[in-house]
Chains A and B, each alone.
Chain A
C-alpha cells in the first residue's frame, strides 16, 4: 500500500497562475484533509472532506478550492496564486477522528 500520495512534490508558480495539487489515498478512509505549513505556524487546516461528496472550510480557506473526486482522491486548487500562498501543503486521510495519515507534502513557491 502506498498510503497517501501527493503530486507534484515541488512547484514554482508566478503570481496569478493557477494549479491543482493532487492527493490520493489507498486506505479506504472516509475523511481527507488539506493543510498548509508555514515556518513557526504549525499546520493549518485549509479544507476537509468528512466523506465522499462533502467538503467544508477549515481555518484558512481563502484563495483555495477543493474537489472530492471520489473516495480516494481529494484535490486542492489555487485559482490565482499569490506569494502569500508559498508554503508546504500536506494532504491527510483518516477514518473519522482517528489517526490522520499524511502524504509527503508539496513544496510550493509563488514568485
Chain B
C-alpha cells in the first residue's frame, strides 16, 4: 500500500462546477497535510495546507481533513479552465523536518 494515494484521473469537470479531489494516507502519525498544484512542465506550488480536523477555506479552495478516516480532500468551487493542472497531495509526520510524502497526483481538466 502506498503511503499517500490519489486517483490519477484525469478528472474532468465543466467550467463553473465543483471539482473534488481526494487523498488517503496510511500513517496515522501524519501531522501536516498539503495540496500542491503543478502545471504541465512547471514546478509544484502550494495552494493549501491543513493541520487539524475539519474544513479550511481560502477563496475558491476548501481543504477538508478527517484524521480518523485518514482522508484529506480539496474542493475547487467555480472551476475555471486555468485550474486545469495536476494536484499533488503531500503529508508529513514530523513538524521539525518537513519531510513530505507525495501522492502520485490527480490530473484535473476543466472544460469550457
Contacts and interface: CB of A to CB of B under 8 A. Distances in A.
Interface of A: 31, 33, 35, 40-45, 48, 50, 56, 58-59, 90, 94, 96-105
Contact of B98 (A40, A42, A96): A96
Nearest to A44: B102
State the majority secondary structure of interface residues on B.
loop
B94 interface: yes
A2 B89 CA distance: 26
B interface, size bucket: 20 to 34
B82 interface: no
B17 interface: no
A97 B97 contact: yes
A90 B90 CA distance: 15
Contacts of A94: 98
